[in-house]
Amino acid sequence: MGVEQAPTTKGRKAATELKAAAAKDERKTERAMGKDLAKGAKRFDERSKSSDGKSAGTKQRD
**This prediction's pTM:** 0.55
Across residues 2-14, what is the average pLDDT? 83
pLDDT number for residue 17: 92
Q: Is the pLDDT of residue 7 over 90?
A: no
pLDDT at 55 over 70: no
56 or 22, greater pLDDT: 22
- Closest by Cα among 41, 62, 38 to 52: 62
Task: Using the CB atoms, write b or e for 30-42: b if 16+ within 10 Å.
Answer: eeeeeeeeeeeee
pLDDT tens sequence across 14-50 = 889 998 999 999 889 888 888 887 777 777 777 776 6
